[in-house]
């Protein structure tokens, strides 16, 4: 099951359940119970030294320290998982960080653990990939390990970012999110 903003995709193994039985089974579920789910809270340490901090500062008129304070001072909800396995779309960004369009030219490679912003959201790249969001920092944590079946974040979970320095970044390098 993959939940997103206003939809849910459900994948079934037809050798385990008859696809014809899925809809009646889903209709029998209580939406009250599902809407009561309170997601897990993840603390995400971030070394705020992203490539785009100076550009963002110039565009929105906040100092780099103010950008960090606004970003780290908010609690975010995992609104969807997508683009890459374990890639959390987190919202809502507080004003005045909200509203930056994606970069005109996406990068061909964004490092794993990069924390970025675009539009009304922030995200964390779980692995190196192309990307068009504005980079503001990096976490040393492993967000997902598809081969190992480790995908801990789900829609409805919550995230708080915590600024760290280079020393703490190196101490946490390679730890899994939710396990440090």
Mean pLDDT, the chain, as a whole number?
A: 91
Residue 29 is predicted with a pLDDT of 76
Q: Which of 8-22, 44-58, 106-120 has the lowest mean pLDDT?
A: 8-22
- Given pLDDT bands bounded at 50, 70 and 90, which one contains residue 32? low
pLDDT tens for each residue of 123-136: 999 999 999 999 99
**pLDDT higher than 70, residue 2:** no
**pLDDT higher than 80, residue 34:** no
**pLDDT higher than 90, residue 146:** no
- Comparing 107 with 2, the larger pLDDT belongs to 107
Contacts of 27 (CB under 8 A, 6+ apart): none
55: tokens are 């550009």
pLDDT tens for each residue of 80-109: 998 899 999 999 999 999 999 999 999 999
Tell me which residue of 151, 148, 80, 147 sits closest to 119, measured CA to CA: 80
Residue 12 is predicted with a pLDDT of 81
Average the pLDDT over 65-82 and give the result. Answer: 96
**pLDDT higher than 70, residue 36:** no
Q: How far apart, in whole angstroms, are the C-alpha atoms of residue 142 and residue 89? A: 16
81 burial level (CB within 10 Å; 0-12, 13-18, 19+)? buried
Q: How far apart, in whole angstroms, are the C-alpha atoms of residue 12 and residue 9? A: 10
Residue 38 is predicted with a pLDDT of 72
């Amino acid at each position: 099951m993959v939940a997103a903003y206003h939809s849910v995709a459900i994948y079934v193994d037809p050798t385990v359940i008859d696809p014809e039985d899925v809809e009646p089974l889903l209709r029998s579920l209580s939406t009250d119970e599902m809407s009561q789910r309170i997601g897990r809270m993840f603390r995400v340490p971030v070394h705020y030294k992203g490539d785009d901090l100076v550009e963002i500062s110039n565009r929105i008129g906040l100092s780099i320290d103010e950008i960090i304070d606004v970003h780290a001072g908010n609690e975010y909800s995992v609104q969807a998982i997508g683009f890459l396995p374990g890639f959390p779309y987190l919202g809502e960004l507080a004003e005045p960080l909200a509203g930056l369009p994606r970069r005109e030219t996406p990068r061909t490679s964004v490092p794993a653990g990069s924390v970025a912003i675009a539009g009304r959201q922030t995200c964390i790249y779980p692995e190196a990939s192309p990307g068009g969001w504005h980079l503001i920092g990096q976490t040393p944590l492993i967000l997902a390990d598809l081969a190992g079946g480790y995908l801990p974040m789900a829609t409805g979970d919550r995230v708080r970012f915590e600024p760290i320095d280079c020393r703490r970044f190196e101490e946490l390098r390679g730890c899994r999110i939710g396990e440090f």
